[in-house]
Amino acid sequence: MRVTVVGSGYVGTTLAACLADAGHDVTAIDIDPDVVDALNDGRAAIHEPGLDDLLAEHAGDRLRATTEYDGVPDADVTFLAIGTPSREDGSIDLGPLTAAAGMTGEALADVGGDSAAADDPEDRHLVVVKSTITPPGVREVREALVAGAGDAADRVELATNPEFLREGSAVDDFQHPDKLVFGADSDWATDRLEALYEPLLDAIDGDVPVIRTDPETAVMIKYANNAFLASKISLANDLGNVCKRFGIDAYEVMDAVGLDDRIGARFLRSGVGWGGSCFPKDVDAIRAAAREAGYEPPMLDAAVAVNDGQPERMLELLDSHVDVAGERVAVLGLAFKPGTDDTRNSRAIPIVEGLRARGADVVGYDPVATDAMRERFPDLAYADSAAAALEGASAALVVTDWDEFAALDDAFDAMAEPVVIDGRRIIERRDGLTYEGLTW
């Protein structure tokens, strides 16, 4: 099929590359010429395992990038993968997405020509929202698309197809999904989405559940999914904080709890909390949407409150061992999770801010996220390796569970005072090391 993908950020780039790899002819559209040039050269602007390989393989063949919308009318499907940034109150800003929907509609104004029939599949165009939007947002995007399409609006249909991609494993998640969610108002739109994904599903051993529903329900599934996972982590952290008070290892407790098939073992690893571009933004957005609809969501509010408190608990553990004023303190891990260079809502941010407020001389290290964190803290000291960050430090805080941190035994010997506060259970206790686990 011929596919256009409007927006070449994290989701759009992964979507375009994976659809090209599935055999489709994909045109990526972005307003940034530098992003377009990079994609045409087979390079991604983000760190994501496997993505550069796909781009290098398909750029110039089944995948091309442009700043123009002129290829949209010739496509079978157009995806909108535009960011929906958070406002101060947590609600999402649909401005960039509705603008893209309007421009897409304008490009489709002549779909099928004057003789086109609205009930002829060959003369219709499917526009699919891949961006994360709340149910009320579907109407706003549809209105922008219809306004742009003008007289051709009856030949253009809007559907939703939320993404469930984890940073650090997005390519694998796309190619081996837990589920596919199609939100459409007609059988025609659902059939086209199923045809689009057919090559992907044919390549997978085993069945993938496909949820066929309306556009608003589809996007709510995405929010419910992320809100549940975020709340599960916060509950594990809350229980972990209780375990710490009792001198109990929360991981031993949760290993047993996870054996209950009603609960499951995943997302029960307690620690310094969740961050990134999805959980904080999506939980805040659905909380804001609920309030606008007249409902205060106490469980989601509590999940956020617990998460926001974990970095301070980590710093309080540090305070119980060393006064860091004027002392060198290493922060190991700046990305919000391993496998990505994304520092958005990283737990390292409040950790660094808290250390600075205490007068510490902070040095940070991350295998891939230093440049991203430098944009936020340009005057922070950054080390080229974890060992260099630890040298002469009076304390170290482990914020991201990169595998390399598990092999730092000798490096701790170079610390002035071997105090380690572990927020991710990646460091092993050892003689000569003052070690504190956040919830164990």
Catalytic residues: 278
Among the listed residues 18, 60, 66, 28, the one whose alpha carbon sits nearest the alpha carbon of residue 42: 60
- Quote the crossing angle between the two packed helices 215-246 and 298-319, to the nearest 10°: 40
User: In this structure, how many other beta carbons lie within 10 angstroms of the beta carbon of residue 410?
Assistant: 9
Q: For the range 185-188, what are the long-range contacts, defined as Cβ-Cβ under 8 Å and sequence gap of 24 or more?
A: 185/157, 185/159, 185/214, 185/215, 186/157, 188/121, 188/124, 188/157
Strand pairing class (381-382; 361-365):
parallel
- At 141, list the tokens: 């995007």
DSSP secondary structure letter of residue 71? T
The torsion angle over the Cα atoms of residues 33, 37, 39 and 41, rounded to 10 degrees, is 180
Q: What is the number of alpha carbons within 13 Å of residue 168 lying toward its C-beta?
A: 17
Helix axes 51-58 and 10-21, enclosed angle (nearest 10):
50
Distance separating alpha carbons of residues 153 and 291, to the nearest angstrom: 33
Residue pair 336/347 in contact by the 8 Å Cβ criterion: yes
Closest Cα to residue 127, out of 149, 98, 157, 100? Answer: 157
Residue identified by tokens 């025609």 is 188
Distance CA 430, CA 245 (A): 22
Phi and psi torsions of 374, nearest 5°: -65, -30
Give the span between the Cα atoms of 280 and 308, in whole angstroms. Answer: 10
Distance CA 199, CA 186 (A): 22
Q: Is 149 exposed, middle or buried (0-12, 13-18, 19+ CB in 10 A)?
A: buried
Q: What is the DSSP string of 30-64?
A: -S-HHHHHHHHTT--SS--TTHHHHHHHHBTTTEE
Over the range 329-357, which residues count as b (16 or more CB within 10 Å of their CB) and which as e?
bbbbbbbbbbbbbbbbbbbbbbbbebbee
Residue type, position 282, single letter: D
- What are 436's strand-pairing partners? 421
